[in-house]
Amino acid sequence: MPAHSPSPSTAKPDHQTLEEAAEWFALLSDDQCSNGDRQAWQQWFDSSPQHRIAWQYVEQVSKRFHQVAEQTSSEESRRILGASRSKSSSRRRVLGSGLAVFGALLAWRYSPLSDYSERLYARINSDESSGIGEIRKLALTDGGTLWINTDSALKIDYQAEVRRIHLQRGELQVQTGYHDTLNRPFLITTEQGQLRALGTRFSVRRNEDETYVAVFEGAVEITTEQGERQRIDAGQQTRFSAQQIDPPEAANPAHRAWASGLILADNIPLSRLVEELRRYRHGHLGLDPAIADLRVVGSFPADNPDHALAMLADSLPLRINRRMPWWVRLEANTH
């Protein structure tokens, strides 16, 4: 494998360039790689600084795999390696080098492309958290129920005067206890403001600069960091920043279905479904722009996103290109 690492750079290449780098890496790792392949790779590598940065990222992922593989028992390595073989074409194999040992299961949390450090910090400083692809259900001490969606972290602070949950990362859904003996207010807080439950079931999702809320029973009162206030009733959803609250609209059933382990698609673009599936799986999931606008209807298993991809391949004109076990792309099926 050629060893060409550019000077360190904080600029990250786009996903298309990263996909190209991943395919070149798979090709050059193959025993059938020819001198012509290597020369073509060198031309690609030299043609753009972004190509060189992307190559460095993919090389770093490979090194992380080697480090993790060395810490794994030989029996477990053989088991995972065998599973990876069954999913990879001979032309794209990166087996034998150790790169595929942990496949999609662990690649992204060791990848410099992910926000692994932010995720790790949130989990260390939380009371409850979930891993990628994990959905947890918890019983609260006041009789309520809490669901924690994939890749989420939160703090639970129950005091004599108030019940408060701070959502640090990700998404939760809550069914508040109807008979709190102390009659304490129930609050969910994020960086953008707080939500006060009014005898309800609702979901809250935190993004970088916004919080999304969907109410299924009862009502929720939103108060932003800047003091704007609005009531959202059952059947409504909205989003808010620290400064303002958007007008409410009809609640999307998908915001409730994930607590039952389902990802719902109600005539949505494939690009939106892929964006949601990315939250539940390790590794890179790419999408060919040529099929991004295909409409999708159905329900898909949140706990098995790769099975969800197979369902899509069975029902839509697309194919699954597993360039490496941790690097998957949905492409137009031209056959």
Q: Which residues of the chain have pLDDT under 50?
A: 5-10, 68-69, 71-113
CB 167 within 8 A of CB 154: yes
Dist. CA 117–CA 67, nearest whole Å:
18
Strand boundaries in the chain, DSSP class E: 128-129, 136-139, 145-148, 153-158, 163-175, 186-190, 193-206, 211-224, 229-233, 236-240, 249-250, 262-269, 284-287, 295-301, 318-324, 327-332
Task: Quote the pLDDT of residue 79.
Answer: 41
Which residue has 């480090």 as its token pair?
67
Residue 141: both structure tokens together: 């001490």
Question: What local confidence, expressed as pLDDT, does residue 67 receive?
Answer: 53
Distance CA 106, CA 112 (A): 13
Torsion, Cα 243 170 280 122, to 10 degrees, reads 130
DSSP 248: P
pLDDT value of position 99: 38
pLDDT at 250: 97
At position 98, the amino acid (one-letter code) is G
Q: Report the pLDDT value the prediction gives residue 107, as an integer from 0 to 100.
A: 44
Structure tokens at 130: 């979930």
The reported pLDDT for the residue numbered 54 is 83
For residue 282, give both structure tokens: 């390790």
Question: Please, what are the domains in the chain?
Answer: 15-110 (no CATH), 136-256 (2.60.120.1440), 260-332 (3.55.50.30)
Q: Which pTM does this prediction carry?
A: 0.72
Q: Among residues 293, 288, 297, which one has the least CA distance to residue 320?
A: 288
Looking at residue 326, its pLDDT comes to 72
Which sign, positive or negative, has the C-alpha torsion 324, 54, 293, 278?
positive
Q: How far is CA 179 from CA 175, 189, 197, 223, in A?
A: 12, 22, 13, 24
Nearest Cα residue to 174 out of 276, 249, 263, 259 = 259
Question: How buried is residue 293: exposed, middle or buried, by Cβ count under 10 Å (0-12/13-18/19+)?
Answer: exposed
